[in-house]
Amino acid sequence: MPPHPLAQRAIAELRRDVSRFDPLATDGKMFGVLVVAAADGRIGYLRAFSGMLGGTWHVDGYAPPVFDYAARERFWPAGEAELATIDAELAALDDRIAPLRAELAALDERHLGELTAQRDVHAANRRDRHAVRSGSRSTPSTDSNDDASGAKRTNASHELDQLSRADGAERKRMLASHRQQREPLTAKLRVLDFERNQIERRKTARSRELLVAIHETYAFANARGELRTVRELFAPAEPPGGAGDCAAPKLLALAYREKLRPIAFAEVWCGAPPATGGRHDGACYPACRGKCGPILAHALGGLITDPLPIFGSTVADDEPKLVYQDAWLIVVDKPVGLLSVPGRGEQLRDSVLVRLRQRYPDATGPLLAHRLDLDTSGLLLAATDQQTYGALQRMFESRVIDKRYVAWVEGVIAGDTGTIDLPLRVDLDDRPRQIVDPVHGKQAITEWRVLERTATRTKLALFPRTGRTHQLRVHAAHPRGLGAPIVGDRLYARTPHDEPRLLLHAETLSLQHPHTGQWLTFERPASF
């Protein structure tokens, strides 16, 4: 949904102003505007940035931070200096540890070379002994010299055993020598590592104390005049890092302080996109849930606001339509706007799972074998019993169930086919949004093929080879993927639009029946 027209005008002015900030060319940032009314009826707007801008909290013309600056200054400079001193202690200790670790690594490398050389010699010795034993066993004997030959073979075998034991003893002596050579270094490192651990624990404890003190400087009002600290709003959990520093809390705090009535709010990303993707210059996004959710739930108290949408309220009672059913499997066609499984709260209970439970009261197990996003339509597979459900899960994990989606994306895609391999994880501060993370993300692979092109859009067939949340949507939108958001995507699109739905549909589902072995293919063409 596009921002309010007044908020759009404010964003246009904001973007003209932020063009003067050079750092945004390489490090983009979220900004916000809040349209407000004064007591005399005059309309204007406030603007803010998330966190700091150019290394400072205060920029003329922008909302100041929420925290009590004077209270923070009474303890933070000294606390920051104390942490810097601890960091200096750690750095000095690391300077002592580094050469010892390098010396130990060099020693281990030399020892490895010695062990490898000795192993090669011992391997050659074993081959020689094996050849001698084999030759001895193959030598024919006569009755007259059986006793002498037997004694000779016994003596030879004993000598070979002695040589084998000698090699083993030599190996043990070398390992013991290596341990003896390593011990002085490892002993020093144990002492220094213990000392470092103690300093780290001291730093962690002091950081925790300072963080609690910082949190106490954040207090948020609402339209009813109720004041709550950030720790109270997130209790019993700990507030996440940066809670209270986003644009939305800053703007509401300033509006209440100046006795202004909030009318409309919008947040816009300005500057280069982050490495994780999901943000585009000039695109508007909702306030994050992780850092802002509890704060805004309180700060908006007492205001008359637009009601939140109740998803699924307009979905017909006979949805989802049945596509296939036998004694073990159910396939349905999920409409847009119906959750796959219940969300939090009674208003978000209506879902495919709840409706299937009502239709099939005798079904056991989790029922749904996979999920589709709320905004995605198409084929969903369910199992009527636990055994079948387990079989389907193993098939999904083995990637032997084929799924084909169809989607329209913004822009004209170059090339006709391709594969996207970008690891994904949830954005911990803004669930359910997913972000690209090459370090902590899980592997996500999507194959694509162009079906049709227009002057401004491309129709694609998408084949997810993994099943990550929002995989197709992120892979389409991310600049290292297609760089072309799916039309109607309210989470990952670059700009607001009036498209009534997300143009993404699970069109085809193919699998081998887990009980009969028959190959099944189901298809429900997209309506777009």
Q: What is the DSSP string of 59-128?
A: -TTSPPPSS-HHHHHTTHHHHHHHHHHHHHHHHHHHHHHHHHHHHHHHHHHHHHHHHHHHHHHHHHHHHH
CA distance 353 to 387: 18
Contacts of 478 (CB under 8 A, 6+ apart): 277, 278, 422, 436
Closest to 325 measured CA to CA, from 367, 388, 382, 392: 382
Q: Give how far Cα 120 sits from Cα of 114, 115, 171, Å.
A: 10, 9, 12
Whether 404 contacts 462, CB under 8 Å: yes
> In which element (H, E) is residue 418 found?
strand 417-421
SS (H, E, C) 445-489: EEEEEEEEECCCEEEEEEEECCCCCCHHHHHHHCCCCCCCCECCC
Structure tokens at 155: 């003596």
CA distance 378 to 333: 5
Q: Determine the pLDDT at residue 216.
A: 94
Structure tokens at 242: 């940066």
CA distance 345 to 343: 6
Kindly calculate the radius of gyration of the chain based on its CA atoms and give it in whole angstroms: 34
Angle 436-441-445 (CA atoms, 0-180°, nearest 5)?
75
The torsion of the CA quartet 49, 53, 58, 60, rounded to 10 degrees, works out to: -70
**Residue numbers of the chain with a pLDDT score lower than 70:** 1, 136-153, 307-313, 344-345, 347, 495-497
Angle 415-421-424 (CA atoms, 0-180°, nearest 5)?
130
CA distance 257 to 340: 43
Catalytic residue (choose from 245, 350, 373, 429) = 373
CA distance 373 to 434: 13
Q: Give how far Cα 486 sits from Cα of 290, 460, 474, Å.
A: 25, 10, 9
Closest to 421 measured CA to CA, from 386, 459, 471: 471
- Listed in sequence order, the DSSP H helices in 139-225 are 146-215
203-233 residue pLDDT tens: 999 999 999 999 999 999 999 999 999 999 9
Where are the strands (E) in 6-56, listed by range? 29-37, 43-49
486 backbone φψ class: left, alpha, beta (φ>0; ψ -120 to 50) = beta
CA distance 47 to 218: 19
Structure tokens at 498: 């009036």
Q: Which amino acid is at 286?
A: P
> In which element (H, E) is residue 461 found?
strand 457-464
Q: Determine the pLDDT at residue 311.
A: 47
CA distance 273 to 281: 7
Sign of the torsion angle spanned by Cα atoms 179, 180, 186, 187:
positive
Angle 366-369-370 (CA atoms, 0-180°, nearest 5)?
120
Let me know if 373 is a catalytic residue: yes
Q: Which amino acid is at 307?
A: P
Residue written as token pair 């040589």: 163
Which residues are 334's β-sheet partners?
Answer: 378
Establish whether the linkage from the previous residue to 496 is cis, with ω within 30° of 0: no
351-401 residue pLDDT tens: 999 999 999 999 999 999 999 999 999 999 999 999 999 999 999 999 999
The torsion of the CA quartet 12, 16, 19, 25, rounded to 10 degrees, works out to: 20
Q: Determine the pLDDT at residue 285.
A: 87
Q: Rounded to 5 degrees, what are φ and ψ at 162? A: -65, -40
Whether 381 contacts 329, CB under 8 Å: yes
CA distance 66 to 292: 13
CA distance 49 to 247: 5
What length is written for the chain? 528
Structure tokens at 147: 């006793």
DSSP class of residue 258? T
Between helices 247-257 and 289-299, what is the axis angle to 10°?
20
Where are the strands (E) in 288-389, listed by range? 321-325, 329-334, 377-383
